[in-house]
Amino acid sequence: MDTSMNATSLFPFFDYWWFYAVFTLFVLGMLALDLSIFHRRAHEVSAREALTWSVVWTSLALVFALVLYLYCLWKFPLDPRLAGNPGTADGTLAWQVTLEFLTGFLIEKSLALDNIFVFVVIFQFFAIPAKYQHRILFFGILGALLFRVVFIALGALLLQYKTVVIVFGVLLIATGAKILFAPAKPIDPEANLVIRLLRKVLPVTPLVDGQRFCHSIAGKLHATPLLVALVFIEVSDIIFAVDSVPAIFAVTSEPFVVFTSNIFAILGMRALYFLLAGVAQRFRLLKYALGTILVFVGMKMAWLNEAFGGKFPIGWSLGIISFILILFLLLSLTRSSRSASAGA
């Protein structure tokens, strides 16, 4: 049977199940600490608080990358994936795995920017007060973590086959091209199928009742705008996961690396939203960065990895993705400054 990934994994699940369990408990503990202590009372998240949490989550990811490098340096002096090859003991494998983690983290962070624009539209559409937005995103991120575990498990199973890898690569290229060239369609939550189904299950009240997702009116349970917004966010994340999970598998064949890089990036999504929500209009050109990145990782899956002997250099991938992000970030800021000057 033709496969695209070597059957040997550096981190087989049955040997590292304990780490997955510890890592999951750590994540749940951090989320519980966030909700029960730092956001026990509803309040509007300031730019300073958002920046602090962004630094915290990014720092934790970088510390993990360092620990991962040191562990691989100790555990894998020889590359066990290269049967019959003497391997190297100079840290090459450890450095490669670490770069794969950082590249996956950067890819997920990049694609999360599109989620932020969606969050802005959703909260404006349902008129969600700023002080309740953190609670919605908290449970939204919690749901996203669960769905990503499912998608990563399916990806690890399906992307063993070369044909499936090529198909996903072509789909990523098509998605990226659509972002680059197709006109953007306005988001209409009312037209969403899941929202319409929710309205059939629960009547919806337009009134916000504090942080409650449901509210009793005349003895009958009603969904508040917070619950409707949460459902829409969860559905949106599932759609984004279809792109982001295969995109990370384009740079690494290790589910362990996909899992950890994905989770660290998602954990910082709330802070990134509150940091950028107020200035989202200034970064509209970033959608072209996302489209270009998806085209690039799609090409890696469909062609470039094979053209480079099975693995496109991970250092090049990290450099190319970083360059694309920085380029369109600068172009966005330049365009925004010119627009502001013209309107002055």
pTM of the full predicted structure?
0.87
Percent of the chain at pLDDT above 70? Answer: 88
Residue 208 lies in a domain: no
pLDDT in tens, 275-306: 887 676 677 788 899 899 999 999 999 888 88
Residue 196 lies in a domain: no
Tokens linked to 344: 């002055």
Residue 312 lies in a domain: yes
CA distance 158 to 51: 38
Q: How far is CA 150 from the centre of its chain?
A: 14
**pLDDT tens for the 344 residues of the chain, in order:** 344 444 568 899 899 999 999 998 998 888 888 777 767 777 788 888 888 989 999 999 999 999 999 999 888 876 655 544 444 445 688 899 999 999 999 999 888 887 888 888 888 888 888 888 988 988 888 888 888 889 999 988 888 888 888 999 999 999 999 888 887 777 766 677 777 888 888 888 888 888 888 888 888 888 888 998 998 888 888 888 888 889 999 999 899 999 999 999 998 888 888 888 767 667 778 889 989 999 999 999 988 888 887 788 889 999 999 999 999 888 888 887 666 566 55
Residue 217 lies in a domain: no
Q: Which residue has the tokens 């990049």?
A: 110
CB-side neighbour CA atoms (13 Å) of 60? 17
Calculate Rg over the CA atoms of the chain.
21
Residue 210 lies in a domain: no
Q: How far is CA 30 from the centre of its chain?
A: 18
Q: What is the mean pLDDT of the chain?
A: 84
In this predicted structure, what is the pLDDT of residue 32?
Answer: 82
Return the bridge partners of 216, or none.
Answer: 221
Residue 189 lies in a domain: no
| Cβ count within 10 A of residue 20 | 16
- What is the number of structural domains in the chain? 1
Residue 192 lies in a domain: no
Residue 317 lies in a domain: yes
CA distance 266 to 271: 10
- Domain limits for position 47: 13-182+240-336
